[in-house]
Amino acid sequence: MEIRLNEKRALVTGGNSGIGAAIANELSKAGAKVAINYVSHPEIAEQMVNEIQAKGREAISIMADVSDSSQVEQMFSQLDTSWGGIDILINNAGIDGQKADGWETKLDDWMQVININLIGNFYCARQALKRMVGQKSGVILNTSSVHEIIAWTGHSAYTTSKAGLSMLTKTLAQEAAPYGVRVLALAPGAIKTTINQTVWNNRAGLNDLLEKIPLHRIGEPSEVAQMAVVLVSDAASYVTGRTIFVDGGMTDYPDFAHGG
């Protein structure tokens, strides 16, 4: 089976770093036109666009802070102007936030994570769905996390945002299904990106992390990106409203390999 996304118009939020960048490149390889959204480091977004264009494929970059509804509206208008709409939204922009127990955390830090990861995701989904429901086709793929089901000390805003994304995914999927639009989520485990670099960069942190992963290695961004391409393609035409975990078995609770 060959997966082709020829002429599909895709937007990847947080598309100039980590998992988002890997997904943007993989979508492009499959033939999609890719809009790379970013909020900082425009030069990296530009470089990605240039590299994609050099291969004879279409790409643009769009600056927008997903936690600002008017910037999100403008980003979608820009897509309308450039490509006449959208077929695939990779709702990916997100941050881990500052580590702190809930009673110690600064409210501004807590709210920033919710505003980007959950509310920003909704702003983008809302704009995409208006268009997809109208054209009776489209796919939204939300980047969730294993932490939509695994609690994580010091990261209550992050876990709450991802758990919220899970129900947002299910509910929007139910609403959009009659229009032939799919909404689903992809939940990475520990993937080698800058978001968790401080952990995999030191021996003790890495060993601790590996104990939590049955496949006993950190995932590569490309391993998430390949699954993303499958999920937004017609190969997954009967999949909606679900979170698919790409986590090396992290949510299989490896501690239960013994005892219990």
DSSP 153: T
Spatial distance between the Cα atoms of 79 and 81, rounded to a whole number of angstroms: 5
Which is nearer to ligand BGC, 23 or 176 (by Cβ)? 23
Tell me, yes or no, if 158 is annotated catalytic. yes
18 is a site residue for ligand BGC (CB under 6 A): no
For the bound state, the minimum distance from the C-beta of residue 145 to ligand BGC, rounded and expressed in Å, comes to 3
Nearest to 47 by CA among 82, 75, 18, 16: 16
Binding-residue pattern over the window 228 to 247 for ligand BGC, x denoting contact by CB under 6 A: --------------------
- Is the separation of the CB atoms in 219 and 186 below 8 Å? no
Binding residue for ligand BGC, selected from 125, 147, 219, 224, defined by CB under 6 A: 147
- Which window, 37-45, 63-71, 143-151, 178-186, contacts ligand BGC (CB under 6 A)? 143-151
Which residue type does 77 have? S
* Binding to ligand BGC in span 189-218, by CB under 6 A: 189-190, 195-196, 199
- 221-232 vs 18-29: helix axis angle to the nearest 10? 50
* Single residue of 146, 173, 224, 225 touching ligand BGC by CB under 6 A: 146
User: 205 Cβ partners below 8 Å, 6+ apart?
Assistant: 198, 199
Contact 201, 102 (CB under 8 A): no
In the set 158, 179, 238, 253, the catalytic residue is: 158
Cβ closest to ligand BGC, residue 32 vs residue 185: 185
Residue at shortest CB range from ligand BGC? 145
Told to check if 169 binds ligand BGC by CB under 6 A, we report no
- By C-beta, is 61 or 91 nearer to ligand BGC? 91
| Inter-helix orientation angle 156-176/107-114, to 10° | 30
Distances (CA, A) of 6 to 30, 61, 96, 118, 150: 7, 19, 33, 30, 37
Instruction: State which of positions 95-124 bind ligand BGC (CB under 6 A).
Output: 96
Smallest distance, ligand BGC to C-beta of residue 123, A: 21
Number of residues in contact with ligand BGC under rule CB under 6 A? 9
The answer to whether residues 112 and 95 touch, using CB atoms and an 8 Å cutoff, is: yes
Q: Catalytic residue positions?
A: 158
Residue numbers at the binding site for ligand BGC (CB under 6 A): 96, 145-147, 189-190, 195-196, 199
